[in-house]
Amino acid sequence: MQKAKLGLIGLVHEEAKQDYWGTMEKVAALGYQGIEGGESLLQGDVEANVKRFHDIGLQVLTISSGKDQLSDNVDNLIAKAKSLHTDRVTVWWAPCDSRQAVLEDAALYNEVGAKMAQEGITLCYHNHHHEFLNVFDGVYALDLLAANTDPAALKFVVDVAWVTFGGEDPVRVLKRLKGRIASVHVKDFARLDEPGHFTAVGTGVVNVKGSVQTATEIGVEWMVVEQDTLRNLNAMETVTLSALYLREAGLV
């Protein structure tokens, strides 16, 4: 089976504050090839920072934006993405609390995504669990959003843990969004009775292996490790264990 590339978001914030480049070198040594974020590279000589980042084997996978910042900030987001040599901008959250709100968001993403696409930038949307708790006429909010957006204007970052927490099967969601997935956030929950019980990838109840296998089979290139809060391990231990699990399982 073809193997995916391994990315990382968050987790090592505190370590990076103390020693950014040393932390990034450790992350790269574990087999990570990309980072979502990269704002630290904007300090000082950006081009030199990006080159150094690339030299240690990493690339910036995406920058982020709030939904409400899109309309008035498109040009700045495009410029920021280009300065970091990434071709993606990801909206991390939107409320999706009514059918009309989802349709209005879809119109916004179509407009902004089309403008970004003209500059070689892909607009993406990252799900949480509420897109599966909010159902309109039998349709999940996320599926409603997908149905009303142009595939050329909006791609998706599928967070398999939040899909699971929302009560849906991430494998089914991945298959439904085939061709529109920019990356998969690989995350795990120790239990599902309430939010917040995150754990290292492969040590919880999320179908990580099946999700990554499916994503890879349908052509998704990047699997991005994420853990919102630490459990028993520290950040570097968590980053290490998650990478080792995915490698030992033959997934990356």
**pLDDT per residue as tens digits for the range 34-51:** 999 999 999 999 999 999
State residue 237's pLDDT score: 99
Q: Is residue 158 within a helix (H) or strand (E), and if so which, with residue range?
A: strand 155-159
What mean pLDDT comes out for the span 226-236? 97
Q: Where are the alpha helices (DSSP H) in 67-140?
A: 74-83, 99-118, 130-133
Q: What is the pLDDT of residue 11?
A: 97
Of 233, 226, 165, which is closest to residue 194 (Cα–Cα)?
A: 165
Q: What share of the chain in percent tops pLDDT 70?
A: 100
- pLDDT band for position 250 (50/70/90)? very high
Task: Give residue 1's pLDDT.
Answer: 67
Q: 194 pLDDT band (50/70/90 cuts)?
A: confident
| pLDDT at res. 2 | 80
Check residue 2 and report its DSSP letter.
P
| CA dist list (Å): 239 to 85, 91, 148, 193, 228 | 24, 24, 36, 25, 12
Element (H, E) at 159: strand 155-159
Domain covering 5-248: architecture = Alpha-Beta Barrel (3.20)
**Phi, psi for residue 78 in degrees, rounded to 5:** -60, -45
User: Distance from CA of residue 200 to its chain's centroid?
Assistant: 16
Q: Give per-residue pLDDT as tens, 58-92.
A: 999 999 999 999 989 999 999 999 999 999 999 99
In angstroms, the Cα distances linking 43 to 38, 47, 159 are 10, 10, 29
pLDDT tier, 196 (very low <50, low <70, confident <90, very high otherwise): confident
The domain locations on the chain are 5-248
Query: For residue 26, is pLDDT > 80?
Result: yes
Residue 148 near residue 158 (C-beta atoms within 8 A): no
